[in-house]
Amino acid sequence: MLPLPASDEAALDLVMLIEGETSGRPLDDVLAQYGRSRSTYYEKLRRFREDGVEGLLARPPGPRRAWRRPLEVVRFIVTTRLRHPDRGAAAIAEDLLSLGHSVSVRSVERTLTQFGLTRRGPSAGPGHDTSSRAG
């Protein structure tokens, strides 16, 4: 075998997969040699079968492609908060789902933050008297 730099994870993974699939050695021995778990091995094997060597390249965490909230969704989130300040992000996300838009609660929170519509803890902010509320 050719010496491979330890920093070349994709090449090491490919060699591990080849050995694991063709050497006849027990898979546990191959995994121990490369310091990988069984679940990691099968995940890499699946990615290699689907995408070839590109599937073995390191992937940064997070979304695999850019995603933008559609304008219609952003409008709904903003107008709902303005009309119903008591509605939380989870309730707004449920409303969107009932309208056919699957949007995470975190995405709703990001949109509210982007437009400065987040709540300010127990008080409603300056200019709002909370002393007359029943507690």
Q: Which residue has the tokens 């949007």?
A: 103
Contacts of 45 (CB under 8 A, 6+ apart): 17, 20, 21
Q: Is the pTM of this model over 0.75?
A: no
Kindly report, residue by residue over 3-54, the tens digit of the pLDDT: 666 677 888 999 999 999 999 999 999 999 999 999 999 999 999 998 888 8
95 backbone dihedrals φ, ψ, rounded to 5°: -60, -45
